[in-house]
Structure 1
Amino acid sequence: ERAVEIFPRLKFHGENEMDVLCLSTNEHHQLDGILKEEDGSIWVGKVKALRLGGCAVEILPKLWLHGENEMDVLGVRADGAGQITEMLKKENGSVWVGKARKLNVEKYAAEILPKLGFHEDNEMEELRLNVHEYSCLTELLKEENNSVWVGRVKEVRLEGVSVGLFPKLGFHEENEMKRLSLYAYTSKQIPGILKTTGSSLWVGKVKVLRLEDYAIEMLPKFRFHEENVMEELSLSSDYSRQITGILGEERNNIWVGRVRVMRLEGYAVEILPKLKLHGENVMEELSLSADDAE
């Protein structure tokens, strides 16, 4: 961990390219010298994989990345709110990361999402949030819907309380996701979403949509691109209480558009009459399975 203290003293070549830069420390005092540096003053050049853990997340604003840098992976993890105090003081969108193909955010590091600035042409292969406690999202949940800009993202996977962040994410209006996977295990994980009215959550185009358990209740809130064609719509529910809201909808009231393959598992089978398909939709496969319902 103490090696973090000497990091600012290292001098990298102007055309330096690193495969991996990994910095981690749980001792905030080890960053005293680094935090005194100007933002964007520590040259690192091009970095393919950048991973920051614990208090080292605070170093991110200090790094000076090559203007043409494109990271394969940016991973940030913070185990406590005290490890990101300086980051939370930054203006939204002011911490430049440029282009990143995969963004992995864990625990309290989720709070810094609004602070990150991505290149306008950035297209992420995957956005993954691993958050299991509401205390990790105190500030982020205060953000306006669609205000946390992530741009174009091909795959989004949110589980547990992180599902509640979905409305906060701002996607490019022409974004086309290969896969959107949402898993909510209790209704308390998506209270704000359930209170929204109409189809207010922009999804755009998505090839594969998978919703499990209480996340199914989000389906009426989604707004898809008018030209969207889903390769697969998969809904799975183990308990009837996970779909009580949808069961109260009118028949053919939940627009899903064109769907080639539809898979409904468990109690999700009961919502089939509520779904509205495109008038010219041609479905290749409809799979209904209630065997796993309890």
Structure 2
Amino acid sequence: MSLGEYAVCVITKMIIHEDSMVEKLSLSASRKEHVAAVLEHEKMIYVGRVKRVDFYKYAVCVVMKMRIHEDCEVGDLMLDATREERVAAVFEQEKAFCVGRVKSINLGLYAVSILSKLGIHEDCVVEILSLYARKEVAAVLEQYQTLCVERVKNMLLWDYAVCVLIKLRICEDNIKENLYLVAYGEQFSRILEEGDSSIELGRIRRCGFYVTEEIRRKLRYILVDGEGKEVLEEGSDEEETAASYRETS
């Protein structure tokens, strides 16, 4: 199901059978008035069971009015906004909003800032959290105190979205399978301003820790093996000493 521009407001009039499954719900609105009727709607908008949700431009704000079937786990949630004003409505309300259970969350450009308002079901484990942001978005992210990601298995941060690391609050018992930071040069500048071992990341699988040595120095983390047991970092003083001892024994 794809709705664009003024047609986005049709979603407030739809009656969806609770047993139906929508493969994909895609909304795109290039002007604020295109979603005005949705945002002014008093009640939450029931969309039933949905496998994939893609909202673009001003339609990104519709996510806070959306109610998904309580037994449904959304496979992919994609939110993308190229201008700051397109997510402004989300921050006009004080409370966060819950999107239920989601396997994969992809936030692009100014939609990255919505992470501070986005809530998921307390027993949900997010398989993938992917964030992409350009340079102008970095200043927006600085406005928020913390960004709670709770339980996330795989985290991919692209370009200037890597600066989100300094704002993360991570569940202590969460083990990340993979952490990818895909950025270059000045895109890392905000992280490099932090003190050594000052950015808390929690537990990470050693085989899935894709971070350069320069950035690792700024992070505080515990590496674990496939069984969740703590392991030494490759090249650490302790590991080199142990290797030297084995060679001379």
- Answer yes or no: is 1:194 the counterpart of 2:142: yes
Matches within 5 A, 1:141-290: 141-144=91-94, 147-186=96-135, 188-197=136-145, 200-240=146-186, 242-260=187-205, 261-264=208-211, 269-278=213-222, 281-282=230-231
For structure 2, the residue ranges without an aligned partner over 5 or more in a row are 224-228, 236-249
Task: Give the one of 88, 99, 104 matched to 2:49.
Answer: 99
The letter for the 1-side match of 2:109 is G
Which residue identity lines up with residue 222 of structure 2 in the other structure?
A: H
For the 8 Å contact 1:174–1:204, the answer to whether it is kept is no
Structure with more strand by fraction = 1
Greater relative contact order: 1 or 2 (C-alpha under 8 angstroms, separation 6 or more)?
2
Tell me the residue number matched to 1:86: 37
Q: Distance in 2 between matches of 1:115 and 1:132?
A: 21
Deviation at 1:232, TM superposition (A): 0.9
Q: Deviations over 1:219-240 (max 9, x none)?
A: 1221222221111111122123
1:58 corresponds to: 9
TM-score by length of 1: 0.70
Alpha-carbon distance, 1:282 to partner: 3.2
Count of residue pairs the alignment pairs up: 228
Q: Is the 1:167–1:193 contact (alpha carbons within 8 Å) kept by the matching residues of 2?
A: no
* Identical pairs, percent: 31
| SS class of match (1:124) | strand
Alpha-carbon distance, 1:285 to partner: 8.2
CA distance in 2, matches of 1:256, 1:281: 14
- Partner residue of 2:246? none
**Structure 1, unaligned runs of 5 or more:** 1-49, 287-294
C-alpha RMSD of matched pairs (Å): 2.3
Separation in 1 of the partners of 2:234 and 2:106? 24
1:118 aligns with 2:68: yes
Q: Which amino acid aligns with 1:281?
A: E
